[in-house]
Structure 1
Protein backbone atom coordinates (compact mmCIF):
# COMPACT_ATOMS: atom_id res chain seq x y z
CA UNK A 1 0.00 0.00 0.00
CA UNK A 2 1.71 3.16 -1.22
CA UNK A 3 0.98 5.91 1.26
CA UNK A 4 2.64 8.19 3.75
CA UNK A 5 1.88 8.83 7.40
CA UNK A 6 0.95 12.22 8.84
CA UNK A 7 0.50 12.92 12.55
CA UNK A 8 0.42 16.75 12.59
CA UNK A 9 -2.68 18.90 12.31
CA UNK A 10 -0.54 21.60 10.72
CA UNK A 11 0.23 19.43 7.70
CA UNK A 12 -0.84 21.44 4.59
CA UNK A 13 -2.98 18.63 3.16
CA UNK A 14 -4.73 18.05 6.48
CA UNK A 15 -5.38 21.78 6.81
CA UNK A 16 -6.76 21.89 3.26
CA UNK A 17 -9.15 19.00 3.96
CA UNK A 18 -10.30 20.58 7.23
CA UNK A 19 -11.02 23.82 5.37
CA UNK A 20 -13.54 22.02 3.17
CA UNK A 21 -16.07 22.35 5.98
CA UNK A 22 -16.31 25.97 4.83
CA UNK A 23 -18.36 26.74 1.71
CA UNK A 24 -15.79 29.34 0.64
CA UNK A 25 -13.07 26.67 0.47
CA UNK A 26 -15.38 24.25 -1.35
CA UNK A 27 -16.33 26.92 -3.89
CA UNK A 28 -12.71 27.93 -4.45
CA UNK A 29 -11.37 24.40 -4.86
CA UNK A 30 -14.38 22.60 -6.34
CA UNK A 31 -13.75 19.79 -3.83
CA UNK A 32 -15.81 18.20 -1.05
CA UNK A 33 -15.43 15.65 1.75
CA UNK A 34 -17.13 12.24 1.86
CA UNK A 35 -16.78 10.30 5.11
CA UNK A 36 -16.63 6.56 5.54
CA UNK A 37 -15.30 3.67 3.47
CA UNK A 38 -18.79 2.88 2.15
CA UNK A 39 -19.22 6.38 0.73
CA UNK A 40 -15.70 6.38 -0.73
CA UNK A 41 -16.28 3.05 -2.46
CA UNK A 42 -19.65 4.30 -3.74
CA UNK A 43 -17.80 7.21 -5.31
CA UNK A 44 -15.20 4.96 -6.91
CA UNK A 45 -17.80 2.53 -8.27
CA UNK A 46 -19.66 5.40 -9.95
CA UNK A 47 -16.51 6.71 -11.61
CA UNK A 48 -15.35 9.27 -9.07
CA UNK A 49 -11.84 8.63 -7.76
CA UNK A 50 -10.68 10.50 -4.62
CA UNK A 51 -8.24 13.36 -5.04
CA UNK A 52 -7.15 12.74 -1.44
CA UNK A 53 -7.70 9.64 0.70
CA UNK A 54 -7.17 9.78 4.47
CA UNK A 55 -7.43 6.64 6.58
CA UNK A 56 -6.77 5.58 10.16
CA UNK A 57 -4.80 2.56 11.34
CA UNK A 58 -7.97 0.64 12.20
CA UNK A 59 -9.01 0.65 8.52
CA UNK A 60 -5.63 -0.44 7.20
CA UNK A 61 -6.54 -4.12 7.06
CA UNK A 62 -9.92 -3.70 5.39
CA UNK A 63 -9.99 -5.31 1.93
CA UNK A 64 -12.00 -2.46 0.43
CA UNK A 65 -9.42 0.08 1.58
CA UNK A 66 -6.92 -1.43 -0.84
CA UNK A 67 -9.42 -0.85 -3.63
CA UNK A 68 -9.81 2.77 -2.54
CA UNK A 69 -6.05 3.26 -2.33
CA UNK A 70 -5.48 1.81 -5.80
CA UNK A 71 -8.22 3.97 -7.33
CA UNK A 72 -6.81 7.10 -5.68
CA UNK A 73 -3.25 6.43 -6.81
CA UNK A 74 -4.40 5.51 -10.33
CA UNK A 75 -6.01 8.96 -10.55
CA UNK A 76 -2.78 10.58 -9.28
CA UNK A 77 -4.41 11.28 -5.93
CA UNK A 78 -2.78 11.45 -2.52
CA UNK A 79 -3.07 8.65 0.06
CA UNK A 80 -2.27 9.44 3.70
CA UNK A 81 -2.50 7.41 6.89
CA UNK A 82 -3.47 9.73 9.75
CA UNK A 83 -4.15 9.56 13.47
CA UNK A 84 -7.62 9.27 14.98
CA UNK A 85 -7.13 12.79 16.31
CA UNK A 86 -6.70 14.13 12.80
CA UNK A 87 -9.75 12.20 11.58
CA UNK A 88 -11.76 13.71 14.44
CA UNK A 89 -10.67 17.23 13.48
CA UNK A 90 -11.28 16.64 9.77
CA UNK A 91 -14.81 15.36 10.39
CA UNK A 92 -15.53 17.49 13.48
CA UNK A 93 -16.93 14.42 15.24
CA UNK A 94 -15.92 12.64 18.45
CA UNK A 95 -16.33 9.24 16.80
CA UNK A 96 -14.99 9.84 13.30
CA UNK A 97 -15.13 7.47 10.36
CA UNK A 98 -11.83 5.67 9.76
CA UNK A 99 -11.73 6.70 6.10
CA UNK A 100 -12.27 10.14 4.53
CA UNK A 101 -12.17 10.89 0.83
CA UNK A 102 -11.90 14.24 -0.95
CA UNK A 103 -13.64 14.34 -4.31
CA UNK A 104 -14.37 16.79 -7.12
CA UNK A 105 -17.81 18.37 -7.18
CA UNK A 106 -19.92 17.68 -10.28
CA UNK A 107 -22.77 19.84 -11.55
CA UNK A 108 -24.51 19.08 -14.84
CA UNK A 109 -25.84 21.97 -16.97
CA UNK A 110 -29.58 22.23 -17.59
CA UNK A 111 -28.98 21.99 -21.32
CA UNK A 112 -27.65 18.42 -21.23
CA UNK A 113 -30.54 16.97 -19.20
CA UNK A 114 -32.49 14.35 -21.15
CA UNK A 115 -36.00 14.38 -19.62
CA UNK A 116 -37.02 11.01 -21.04
CA UNK A 117 -34.03 9.30 -19.39
CA UNK A 118 -36.12 8.88 -16.20
CA UNK A 119 -39.75 8.78 -15.10
CA UNK A 120 -39.27 11.38 -12.39
CA UNK A 121 -37.05 14.41 -11.71
CA UNK A 122 -36.92 16.73 -8.71
CA UNK A 123 -36.42 20.50 -8.60
CA UNK A 124 -35.96 22.31 -5.28
CA UNK A 125 -36.45 26.06 -4.96
CA UNK A 126 -34.18 27.76 -2.42
CA UNK A 127 -33.90 24.71 -0.14
CA UNK A 128 -32.15 25.81 3.07
CA UNK A 129 -31.52 22.72 5.18
CA UNK A 130 -28.58 20.51 4.14
CA UNK A 131 -30.04 17.51 5.96
CA UNK A 132 -33.27 17.82 3.98
CA UNK A 133 -31.37 18.25 0.74
CA UNK A 134 -29.17 15.23 1.37
CA UNK A 135 -32.15 13.08 2.33
CA UNK A 136 -34.00 14.10 -0.85
CA UNK A 137 -30.95 13.19 -2.95
CA UNK A 138 -30.87 9.79 -1.24
CA UNK A 139 -34.60 9.27 -1.87
CA UNK A 140 -34.23 10.36 -5.50
CA UNK A 141 -31.50 7.74 -5.88
CA UNK A 142 -33.61 5.01 -4.25
CA UNK A 143 -36.57 5.76 -6.53
CA UNK A 144 -34.48 5.95 -9.71
CA UNK A 145 -35.04 9.66 -10.37
CA UNK A 146 -33.08 11.27 -13.17
CA UNK A 147 -31.57 14.04 -11.09
CA UNK A 148 -32.07 16.92 -8.66
CA UNK A 149 -32.15 20.52 -9.88
CA UNK A 150 -31.36 23.29 -7.39
CA UNK A 151 -33.19 26.50 -8.30
CA UNK A 152 -32.13 29.88 -6.91
CA UNK A 153 -29.96 30.29 -3.83
CA UNK A 154 -29.91 26.87 -2.18
CA UNK A 155 -27.77 25.37 0.54
CA UNK A 156 -24.69 23.54 -0.69
CA UNK A 157 -25.32 19.90 -1.67
CA UNK A 158 -21.61 19.26 -1.13
CA UNK A 159 -21.54 20.47 2.47
CA UNK A 160 -20.44 17.80 4.93
CA UNK A 161 -23.95 17.69 6.46
CA UNK A 162 -25.69 17.24 3.10
CA UNK A 163 -23.22 14.62 1.90
CA UNK A 164 -23.64 12.66 5.15
CA UNK A 165 -27.41 12.65 4.67
CA UNK A 166 -27.10 11.25 1.15
CA UNK A 167 -25.42 8.08 2.51
CA UNK A 168 -23.31 7.81 -0.66
CA UNK A 169 -26.08 8.80 -3.09
CA UNK A 170 -24.29 12.12 -3.73
CA UNK A 171 -22.27 10.18 -6.33
CA UNK A 172 -25.26 8.50 -7.99
CA UNK A 173 -27.69 11.37 -8.51
CA UNK A 174 -26.82 14.06 -11.11
CA UNK A 175 -27.06 17.58 -9.68
CA UNK A 176 -27.84 20.78 -11.55
CA UNK A 177 -27.86 24.42 -10.44
CA UNK A 178 -29.92 27.15 -12.10
CA UNK A 179 -31.18 30.66 -11.42
CA UNK A 180 -34.94 31.20 -11.31
CA UNK A 181 -34.83 32.81 -14.76
CA UNK A 182 -32.76 29.97 -16.25
CA UNK A 183 -35.09 27.38 -14.80
CA UNK A 184 -38.22 29.18 -16.01
CA UNK A 185 -36.89 29.37 -19.58
CA UNK A 186 -35.77 25.74 -19.56
CA UNK A 187 -39.01 24.50 -18.01
CA UNK A 188 -40.92 25.70 -21.08
CA UNK A 189 -39.24 22.92 -23.07
CA UNK A 190 -40.15 20.20 -20.57
CA UNK A 191 -41.97 17.45 -22.51
CA UNK A 192 -44.01 15.97 -19.66
CA UNK A 193 -45.69 17.59 -16.65
CA UNK A 194 -44.34 19.91 -13.98
CA UNK A 195 -46.02 19.35 -10.60
CA UNK A 196 -45.75 21.72 -7.66
CA UNK A 197 -46.70 21.12 -4.03
CA UNK A 198 -48.82 23.79 -2.34
CA UNK A 199 -50.75 23.68 0.94
CA UNK A 200 -53.37 25.91 -0.72
CA UNK A 201 -53.81 23.65 -3.76
CA UNK A 202 -57.20 22.08 -4.42
CA UNK A 203 -55.93 18.88 -6.04
CA UNK A 204 -55.00 15.91 -3.82
CA UNK A 205 -51.61 14.50 -4.86
CA UNK A 206 -53.21 11.05 -5.26
CA UNK A 207 -55.74 12.31 -7.81
CA UNK A 208 -53.37 14.26 -10.07
CA UNK A 209 -52.56 13.12 -13.58
CA UNK A 210 -48.79 12.94 -13.82
CA UNK A 211 -47.65 13.18 -17.43
CA UNK A 212 -44.40 11.40 -18.22
CA UNK A 213 -41.72 12.42 -17.50
CA UNK A 214 -42.74 14.26 -14.33
CA UNK A 215 -40.74 17.11 -12.84
CA UNK A 216 -41.62 17.67 -9.17
CA UNK A 217 -41.03 21.26 -8.03
CA UNK A 218 -40.92 21.92 -4.30
CA UNK A 219 -40.37 25.11 -2.32
CA UNK A 220 -38.23 25.65 0.74
CA UNK A 221 -38.84 24.80 4.37
CA UNK A 222 -40.18 28.22 5.42
CA UNK A 223 -42.20 29.69 2.54
CA UNK A 224 -42.96 26.75 0.26
CA UNK A 225 -43.39 27.54 -3.42
CA UNK A 226 -43.70 31.28 -4.14
CA UNK A 227 -46.36 32.36 -6.66
CA UNK A 228 -43.92 32.82 -9.55
CA UNK A 229 -42.63 29.26 -9.13
CA UNK A 230 -46.12 27.80 -8.64
CA UNK A 231 -47.14 29.49 -11.88
CA UNK A 232 -44.55 27.43 -13.74
CA UNK A 233 -46.37 24.21 -12.82
CA UNK A 234 -48.94 22.42 -14.97
CA UNK A 235 -50.68 21.36 -11.76
CA UNK A 236 -50.22 22.14 -8.08
CA UNK A 237 -51.13 19.46 -5.56
CA UNK A 238 -51.46 19.15 -1.80
CA UNK A 239 -50.65 16.40 0.66
CA UNK A 240 -53.62 16.41 3.10
CA UNK A 241 -52.95 17.16 6.76
CA UNK A 242 -55.26 15.16 9.04
CA UNK A 243 -53.77 15.89 12.44
CA UNK A 244 -52.73 19.08 14.19
CA UNK A 245 -49.54 19.50 12.18
CA UNK A 246 -50.05 22.00 9.37
CA UNK A 247 -47.18 20.81 7.18
CA UNK A 248 -44.63 18.06 6.60
CA UNK A 249 -40.86 18.10 6.72
CA UNK A 250 -39.62 18.92 3.20
CA UNK A 251 -37.72 15.66 2.73
CA UNK A 252 -40.74 13.62 3.88
CA UNK A 253 -43.05 15.50 1.50
CA UNK A 254 -40.56 15.03 -1.32
CA UNK A 255 -40.41 11.30 -0.62
CA UNK A 256 -44.20 11.02 -0.75
CA UNK A 257 -44.33 12.89 -4.05
CA UNK A 258 -41.47 10.95 -5.62
CA UNK A 259 -43.06 7.61 -4.87
CA UNK A 260 -46.52 8.83 -5.91
CA UNK A 261 -45.08 9.70 -9.30
CA UNK A 262 -42.95 6.58 -9.73
CA UNK A 263 -45.46 4.04 -8.36
Structure 2
Protein backbone atom coordinates (compact mmCIF):
# COMPACT_ATOMS: atom_id res chain seq x y z
CA UNK A 1 0.00 0.00 0.00
CA UNK A 2 1.49 3.33 -1.08
CA UNK A 3 1.42 5.90 1.71
CA UNK A 4 1.67 9.52 0.54
CA UNK A 5 0.32 11.12 3.71
CA UNK A 6 3.75 12.43 4.73
CA UNK A 7 4.59 14.01 1.38
CA UNK A 8 4.81 17.77 1.03
CA UNK A 9 1.85 19.21 -0.92
CA UNK A 10 3.05 21.40 -3.79
CA UNK A 11 1.29 23.91 -6.01
CA UNK A 12 2.46 25.86 -9.04
CA UNK A 13 4.32 28.34 -6.83
CA UNK A 14 6.35 25.66 -5.09
CA UNK A 15 10.10 26.17 -5.66
CA UNK A 16 10.65 22.65 -6.97
CA UNK A 17 7.62 22.80 -9.27
CA UNK A 18 8.90 26.09 -10.70
CA UNK A 19 12.34 24.52 -11.16
CA UNK A 20 10.75 21.58 -13.00
CA UNK A 21 8.89 23.94 -15.35
CA UNK A 22 12.01 26.02 -16.00
CA UNK A 23 13.98 22.89 -16.97
CA UNK A 24 11.13 21.53 -19.07
CA UNK A 25 10.69 24.83 -20.92
CA UNK A 26 14.46 25.11 -21.43
CA UNK A 27 14.50 28.62 -19.99
CA UNK A 28 17.69 28.21 -17.96
CA UNK A 29 21.01 26.39 -18.26
CA UNK A 30 21.75 23.79 -15.59
CA UNK A 31 25.45 22.82 -15.43
CA UNK A 32 24.50 19.78 -13.35
CA UNK A 33 22.56 18.37 -16.36
CA UNK A 34 19.14 18.19 -14.80
CA UNK A 35 16.26 16.89 -16.91
CA UNK A 36 12.52 16.46 -16.47
CA UNK A 37 10.98 13.04 -16.81
CA UNK A 38 7.27 12.23 -16.90
CA UNK A 39 5.56 8.89 -16.66
CA UNK A 40 6.50 5.51 -15.28
CA UNK A 41 8.34 4.31 -18.40
CA UNK A 42 10.84 7.16 -18.35
CA UNK A 43 11.29 6.89 -14.61
CA UNK A 44 11.73 3.12 -14.70
CA UNK A 45 14.51 3.54 -17.29
CA UNK A 46 16.17 6.20 -15.13
CA UNK A 47 16.05 3.95 -12.09
CA UNK A 48 17.42 1.03 -14.08
CA UNK A 49 20.36 3.25 -15.09
CA UNK A 50 20.86 4.25 -11.41
CA UNK A 51 20.36 7.94 -12.11
CA UNK A 52 19.93 10.31 -9.19
CA UNK A 53 16.34 11.49 -8.73
CA UNK A 54 16.60 15.02 -7.33
CA UNK A 55 12.87 15.73 -6.90
CA UNK A 56 9.82 13.52 -7.30
CA UNK A 57 6.21 14.52 -7.91
CA UNK A 58 3.20 12.25 -7.54
CA UNK A 59 -0.51 12.64 -8.14
CA UNK A 60 -2.15 9.66 -6.39
CA UNK A 61 -5.43 10.10 -8.30
CA UNK A 62 -3.67 9.44 -11.61
CA UNK A 63 -1.57 6.44 -10.63
CA UNK A 64 -2.09 3.48 -12.95
CA UNK A 65 -1.52 -0.04 -11.72
CA UNK A 66 0.96 -1.61 -9.35
CA UNK A 67 4.01 -0.76 -11.47
CA UNK A 68 3.53 2.97 -10.99
CA UNK A 69 3.01 2.45 -7.27
CA UNK A 70 6.16 0.32 -7.02
CA UNK A 71 8.22 3.00 -8.78
CA UNK A 72 6.83 5.67 -6.48
CA UNK A 73 7.48 3.55 -3.41
CA UNK A 74 11.09 2.92 -4.44
CA UNK A 75 11.81 6.59 -5.07
CA UNK A 76 10.18 7.75 -1.83
CA UNK A 77 11.95 5.01 0.17
CA UNK A 78 15.31 6.23 -1.18
CA UNK A 79 14.77 9.49 0.66
CA UNK A 80 14.18 11.61 -2.44
CA UNK A 81 12.54 15.00 -1.90
CA UNK A 82 8.98 14.05 -2.83
CA UNK A 83 5.88 16.16 -3.38
CA UNK A 84 2.18 15.45 -3.75
CA UNK A 85 0.56 17.46 -6.56
CA UNK A 86 -2.98 17.79 -7.84
CA UNK A 87 -4.21 16.75 -11.29
CA UNK A 88 -4.26 20.42 -12.30
CA UNK A 89 -0.66 21.00 -11.24
CA UNK A 90 0.58 17.81 -12.89
CA UNK A 91 -1.30 18.83 -16.04
CA UNK A 92 0.80 22.01 -16.15
CA UNK A 93 3.98 20.03 -15.58
CA UNK A 94 3.52 17.25 -18.14
CA UNK A 95 3.21 17.63 -21.90
CA UNK A 96 1.59 14.40 -23.08
CA UNK A 97 -1.99 13.23 -22.87
CA UNK A 98 -2.90 10.75 -20.17
CA UNK A 99 -0.11 11.26 -17.61
CA UNK A 100 0.14 8.37 -15.16
CA UNK A 101 0.69 10.42 -12.05
CA UNK A 102 4.51 10.53 -11.92
CA UNK A 103 7.11 13.16 -12.77
CA UNK A 104 10.64 13.88 -11.58
CA UNK A 105 13.77 15.98 -11.90
CA UNK A 106 16.70 13.66 -12.63
CA UNK A 107 20.43 14.21 -13.04
CA UNK A 108 22.04 12.86 -16.20
CA UNK A 109 25.27 10.84 -15.89
CA UNK A 110 28.59 12.58 -16.46
CA UNK A 111 30.66 10.41 -18.82
CA UNK A 112 34.42 10.59 -19.45
CA UNK A 113 36.89 8.73 -21.69
CA UNK A 114 37.24 6.03 -19.04
CA UNK A 115 33.64 4.97 -19.73
CA UNK A 116 34.47 3.92 -23.30
CA UNK A 117 35.29 0.21 -23.24
CA UNK A 118 38.08 -0.49 -25.73
CA UNK A 119 38.30 -3.78 -27.59
CA UNK A 120 39.72 -5.10 -30.87
CA UNK A 121 36.80 -3.52 -32.74
CA UNK A 122 35.09 -0.34 -31.59
CA UNK A 123 32.60 1.96 -33.28
CA UNK A 124 32.02 5.53 -32.13
CA UNK A 125 29.90 8.31 -33.62
CA UNK A 126 31.13 11.90 -33.50
CA UNK A 127 28.43 14.58 -33.74
CA UNK A 128 30.06 17.83 -34.80
CA UNK A 129 28.02 21.01 -34.39
CA UNK A 130 24.58 19.41 -34.58
CA UNK A 131 21.92 21.86 -33.51
CA UNK A 132 18.52 20.14 -33.80
CA UNK A 133 17.87 18.39 -30.47
CA UNK A 134 15.61 15.76 -32.02
CA UNK A 135 18.41 14.70 -34.37
CA UNK A 136 20.89 14.36 -31.53
CA UNK A 137 18.48 12.35 -29.38
CA UNK A 138 17.55 10.09 -32.29
CA UNK A 139 21.21 9.38 -33.08
CA UNK A 140 21.93 8.55 -29.43
CA UNK A 141 19.00 6.13 -29.44
CA UNK A 142 20.13 4.49 -32.69
CA UNK A 143 23.76 4.29 -31.56
CA UNK A 144 22.64 2.52 -28.41
CA UNK A 145 20.30 0.20 -30.32
CA UNK A 146 22.92 -0.71 -32.92
CA UNK A 147 25.45 -1.64 -30.26
CA UNK A 148 27.95 1.17 -30.85
CA UNK A 149 30.34 2.01 -28.04
CA UNK A 150 29.38 5.63 -27.52
CA UNK A 151 28.96 9.16 -28.81
CA UNK A 152 31.40 12.08 -28.89
CA UNK A 153 29.96 15.58 -29.29
CA UNK A 154 32.16 18.45 -30.52
CA UNK A 155 31.27 22.07 -31.26
CA UNK A 156 28.13 21.47 -29.23
CA UNK A 157 25.13 23.61 -30.17
CA UNK A 158 22.58 22.07 -27.78
CA UNK A 159 22.46 21.05 -24.16
CA UNK A 160 22.11 17.33 -23.53
CA UNK A 161 19.35 18.26 -21.11
CA UNK A 162 17.17 19.81 -23.85
CA UNK A 163 13.67 18.31 -23.39
CA UNK A 164 13.30 17.38 -27.08
CA UNK A 165 16.70 15.67 -27.07
CA UNK A 166 15.83 13.70 -23.94
CA UNK A 167 12.49 12.56 -25.40
CA UNK A 168 14.00 11.59 -28.77
CA UNK A 169 16.65 9.45 -27.07
CA UNK A 170 13.88 7.27 -25.57
CA UNK A 171 15.98 6.54 -22.48
CA UNK A 172 19.25 5.75 -24.29
CA UNK A 173 20.72 9.00 -22.98
CA UNK A 174 20.59 7.53 -19.48
CA UNK A 175 23.04 4.69 -20.09
CA UNK A 176 24.80 5.15 -23.44
CA UNK A 177 28.13 7.01 -23.03
CA UNK A 178 28.04 10.54 -24.46
CA UNK A 179 31.16 12.70 -24.11
CA UNK A 180 31.30 16.42 -24.89
CA UNK A 181 34.72 17.87 -25.69
CA UNK A 182 36.77 20.01 -28.09
CA UNK A 183 37.76 18.71 -31.52
CA UNK A 184 41.48 18.58 -30.73
CA UNK A 185 40.92 16.62 -27.52
CA UNK A 186 38.67 14.11 -29.29
CA UNK A 187 41.05 13.64 -32.25
CA UNK A 188 44.04 13.21 -29.92
CA UNK A 189 42.26 10.52 -27.89
CA UNK A 190 41.03 8.72 -31.02
CA UNK A 191 44.42 8.66 -32.72
CA UNK A 192 46.15 7.68 -29.48
CA UNK A 193 43.93 4.59 -29.29
CA UNK A 194 44.23 3.63 -32.94
CA UNK A 195 40.86 4.80 -34.27
CA UNK A 196 40.40 5.47 -37.97
CA UNK A 197 38.58 8.82 -38.23
CA UNK A 198 36.00 8.79 -41.03
CA UNK A 199 34.23 11.99 -42.02
CA UNK A 200 30.92 11.91 -43.87
CA UNK A 201 30.70 14.44 -46.70
CA UNK A 202 28.41 14.63 -49.77
CA UNK A 203 31.48 15.77 -51.77
CA UNK A 204 33.68 12.76 -50.92
CA UNK A 205 34.80 10.67 -53.88
CA UNK A 206 34.58 7.37 -52.01
CA UNK A 207 31.24 5.72 -51.26
CA UNK A 208 30.75 4.67 -47.65
CA UNK A 209 30.85 1.03 -48.77
CA UNK A 210 34.22 1.35 -50.48
CA UNK A 211 36.28 1.50 -47.31
CA UNK A 212 37.07 -0.91 -44.49
CA UNK A 213 35.66 -0.31 -41.02
CA UNK A 214 37.80 -3.00 -39.42
CA UNK A 215 39.29 -2.55 -35.96
CA UNK A 216 38.45 0.80 -34.35
CA UNK A 217 36.53 3.53 -36.21
CA UNK A 218 35.04 6.92 -35.36
CA UNK A 219 32.46 8.23 -37.83
CA UNK A 220 32.04 12.01 -37.91
CA UNK A 221 28.79 13.62 -39.05
CA UNK A 222 28.21 17.35 -39.11
CA UNK A 223 25.89 20.28 -38.72
CA UNK A 224 22.51 20.02 -40.47
CA UNK A 225 23.25 23.01 -42.73
CA UNK A 226 26.99 23.54 -42.82
CA UNK A 227 28.32 20.03 -42.41
CA UNK A 228 31.53 19.07 -40.60
CA UNK A 229 33.86 21.80 -39.34
CA UNK A 230 37.22 22.29 -41.15
CA UNK A 231 39.04 21.15 -37.99
CA UNK A 232 37.90 17.57 -38.51
CA UNK A 233 38.92 17.51 -42.18
CA UNK A 234 42.44 18.48 -41.10
CA UNK A 235 42.56 15.57 -38.66
CA UNK A 236 40.62 12.77 -40.36
CA UNK A 237 41.93 9.68 -42.14
CA UNK A 238 39.35 9.32 -44.90
CA UNK A 239 36.11 10.93 -46.11
CA UNK A 240 33.10 9.06 -47.51
CA UNK A 241 29.80 9.94 -49.13
CA UNK A 242 26.40 8.29 -49.35
CA UNK A 243 25.32 7.95 -53.00
CA UNK A 244 22.16 9.91 -53.76
CA UNK A 245 20.22 8.39 -56.64
CA UNK A 246 17.07 10.51 -56.50
CA UNK A 247 16.35 14.22 -56.55
CA UNK A 248 17.33 14.86 -52.93
CA UNK A 249 20.99 15.83 -52.57
CA UNK A 250 21.48 14.52 -49.03
CA UNK A 251 19.94 12.55 -46.16
CA UNK A 252 18.87 13.80 -42.78
CA UNK A 253 21.94 13.67 -40.55
CA UNK A 254 20.36 11.10 -38.23
CA UNK A 255 19.54 8.81 -41.16
CA UNK A 256 23.05 9.20 -42.56
CA UNK A 257 24.67 8.49 -39.20
CA UNK A 258 22.68 5.29 -38.72
CA UNK A 259 23.42 4.06 -42.24
CA UNK A 260 27.16 4.50 -41.73
CA UNK A 261 26.99 3.04 -38.25
CA UNK A 262 25.32 -0.17 -39.36
CA UNK A 263 27.76 -0.59 -42.24
CA UNK A 264 30.66 -0.36 -39.80
CA UNK A 265 29.14 -2.81 -37.34
CA UNK A 266 28.21 -5.22 -40.15
CA UNK A 267 31.78 -5.27 -41.46
CA UNK A 268 33.25 -5.69 -37.99
CA UNK A 269 31.09 -8.74 -37.32
CA UNK A 270 32.52 -10.38 -40.44
CA UNK A 271 36.06 -10.21 -39.08
TM-score by length of 1: 0.89
CA-atom RMSD in angstroms: 2.3
Which residue of the other structure, out of 238, 242, 245, is the alignment partner of 1:242?
245
Question: Cα distance 1:61–1:94, how it changes in 2: closer, same or farther (>3 A)?
Answer: closer
1:77 aligns with 2:85: no
Residue 97 of structure 1 corresponds to 99
TM-score by length of 2: 0.87
Whether the 8 Å contact between 2:207 and 2:243 is mirrored in structure 1 is yes
Q: Distance in 2 between matches of 1:214 and 1:8?
A: 51
Mark the structure with the bigger radius of gyration. 2
Q: Structure 1 unaligned runs (5+)?
A: none
Question: Cα distance 1:156–1:5, how it changes in 2: closer, same or farther (>3 A)?
Answer: same
In the alignment of these two chains, the number of paired residues is 262
Residue 27 of structure 1 corresponds to 30
Whether the 8 Å contact between 1:205 and 1:257 is mirrored in structure 2 is yes
SS in 1 for 2:180: strand
Whether the 8 Å contact between 1:117 and 1:146 is mirrored in structure 2 is no
Pairs within 5 Å for 1:73-222 = 73-91=76-94, 93=95, 95=97, 97-98=99-100, 99-110=102-113, 112-116=115-119, 119-222=122-225
Q: Distance in 2 between matches of 1:240 and 1:5?
A: 59
SS in 2 for 1:20: helix
Q: Structure 2 unaligned runs (5+)?
A: 267-271
Q: Distance in 1 between matches of 2:120 and 2:20?
A: 35
User: Which piece of structure 1 moves more, 96-105 or 121-130?
Assistant: 96-105
Whether the 8 Å contact between 2:38 and 2:103 is mirrored in structure 1 is yes
Shift of 1:245: 0.8
Residue 269 of structure 2 corresponds to none
Pairs within 5 Å for 1:53-64 = 53-57=56-60, 59-64=62-67
User: Which piece of structure 1 moves more, 30-39 or 60-69?
Assistant: 60-69
Structure 1 runs of 4+ aligned residues shifted over 4 Å read none
Question: Cα distance 1:26–1:68, how it changes in 2: closer, same or farther (>3 A)?
Answer: farther
1:227 aligns with 2:216: no
Shift of 1:160: 0.8
SS in 2 for 1:73: helix
Residue 50 of structure 2 corresponds to 47
CA deviation profile, 1:12-60 (whole Å, cap 9, x unmatched): 2211111113556442453111222111101111222422222334542
